[in-house]
Structure 1
């Protein structure tokens, strides 16, 4: 594994995520400081909580189906990267996203 390639990419991702978190927090603080209505502040906080729950559901669905696909690859004895193995992983990712969509529609 080439850490000379992975570490700069990871650093960029961390910087971008940090900037996003700071901008979101600043926006929320300005809304609260501007004496926004209590209903607006409450809906903002409730929306954040709902997004966190749905994000957990989304990643749970995707990662569970990817784990099943990797288990299937191991059971089939595939030891090399082949188009079939890549297709199985991509299909599992798509199925996980579709499962999330269906579950999210049933929740709301």
Structure 2
């Protein structure tokens, strides 16, 4: 794996995420400073809290599914990177996303 290629990609993703976070925080600050209605401010704060909870549920499901995929790879004795091993991990990731979708629908 070529780290000379991966490092700039990770750096760009980090910069983009930082800019997005700063812009979102600035927008919220301007809405609050402009004396936005109480309901608007409360909905912004409640939406952020809900988004954080949903994100934790989502990534928890995906990471558990990927861990199960790695465990299955170990049980099957796969020691090399093969298309089958990659397919197993991608399938586990997909199942984790589906589990999140079903749990999220049940919560609502």
Match of 1:91 in 2: 91
Give the TM-score normalised by the residue count of structure 1. Answer: 0.94
**Residue deviations 1:19-44, cap 9 Å, x none?**
00011001101111121100110011
Superposed displacement of residue 46, structure 1: 0.3
Give the TM-score normalised by the residue count of structure 2. Answer: 0.94
Instruction: Could you list the structure 1 runs, at least 4 aligned residues long, displaced by more than 6 angstroms after superposition.
Output: none
**Residue deviations 1:2-60, cap 9 Å, x none?**
33222211111110011000110011011111211001100110000000000000000
Superposed displacement of residue 105, structure 1: 0.9
- Count residues with an aligned counterpart: 108
Match of 1:65 in 2: 65
* Superposition CA RMSD, Å: 1.0
Match of 1:52 in 2: 52
After superposition, residues 1-108 of structure 1 pair within 5 angstroms as 1-108=1-108
Residues in 1 aligned to 2:91 and 2:7: alpha-carbon distance in whole angstroms = 29
